[in-house]
Amino acid sequence: MVPTHMFLTRGVGVHKEKLTSFEEALRSAGVEYCNLVSVSSILPPHCKIIPRKQGEKLLKPGEITFCVMARSETNERNQLVSASVGVAKPTDHGTYGYLSEHHAHGETDEETGEYTEDLAAQMLATTLGVEFDPNVAWKEREQVFKMGGKIVQTLNMTQSAVGKKGKWTTVIALAVFIPPENVQARPRR
């Protein structure tokens, strides 16, 4: 199975039980009805990124659903947690791209999101032979990557939250792959 479509989503859950906090984060992300299987970091060639609502309509309750997932949790009051998935798409749609995930404590949405975008872009750049200086800031490298003409798009999906007293707080970010047969079938909703 090589997915032809993917969507990005995120969620946050808060509950006194750790597992229920995760379940609430899945509900917030709109994928609680799927059996999620985490996979590694390849964005398949020709894989189209679609809006979340469109992607949710293509999933079936109970199906095995492949995703790249970032997850972070805390039960400490006032602790900032974040989770992010970064995407780097090559200009040549027949070439694979990269996804990256990062989970952090104490990083803002912007810091975590930029980090995952940078990770995905670096992995793609090294595969494509794009030369770059890893010691310069992400914004400078981003321009080098895009001006080189081999990386067309980078983006991220990030969720953060602050822990609550006496509760678990879970944040998730996901890149959800749609099975090819679901794209041709009638949407479920």
Residue 121, domain CATH = 3.50.20.10
Whether residue 21 contacts residue 169, with contact meaning beta carbons closer than 8 Å, is answered with yes
Domain for residue 178, yes or no?
yes
Q: Is the pLDDT of residue 65 over 70?
A: yes
Of the chain, the percentage scoring pLDDT greater than 90 comes to 74
Q: Is the pLDDT of residue 180 over 90?
A: no
* Predicted local distance difference test score (pLDDT) of residue 1: 85
Average pLDDT value for residue range 107-125: 92
Q: Is the pLDDT of residue 148 over 90?
A: no
* Predicted local distance difference test score (pLDDT) of residue 83: 98
| CA distance to 14, 26, 54, 102, 115, per residue, from 142 (Å) | 35, 31, 29, 18, 11
Q: What band does 182 get if pLDDT is binned at 50, 70 and 90?
A: confident
Domain for residue 44, yes or no?
yes
Domain for residue 187, yes or no?
no
* Predicted local distance difference test score (pLDDT) of residue 150: 74
* Predicted local distance difference test score (pLDDT) of residue 16: 97
- Total number of domains constituting the chain: 1
Q: What is the dihedral of CA 146, 150, 152, 155, to 10 degrees?
A: -70
Average pLDDT value for residue range 4-13: 97
* Predicted local distance difference test score (pLDDT) of residue 149: 74
Distance CA 151, CA 90 (A): 4
Domain for residue 133, yes or no?
yes
Phi, psi torsion values for 179, nearest 5 degrees? -60, 140
Domain for residue 189, yes or no?
no
* Predicted local distance difference test score (pLDDT) of residue 130: 78
Largest CA distance in the chain: 50
Domain for residue 59, yes or no?
yes
Model confidence, pTM: 0.91
Domain for residue 188, yes or no?
no
Which of 37 and 186 is assigned the larger pLDDT?
37
What residue numbers bound the domain in which 139 lies? 5-182
Q: In the sheet where 168-178 sits, what is the strand order?
A: 35-38, 64-74, 168-178, 5-15, 48-49
* Predicted local distance difference test score (pLDDT) of residue 177: 97
Domain for residue 137, yes or no?
yes
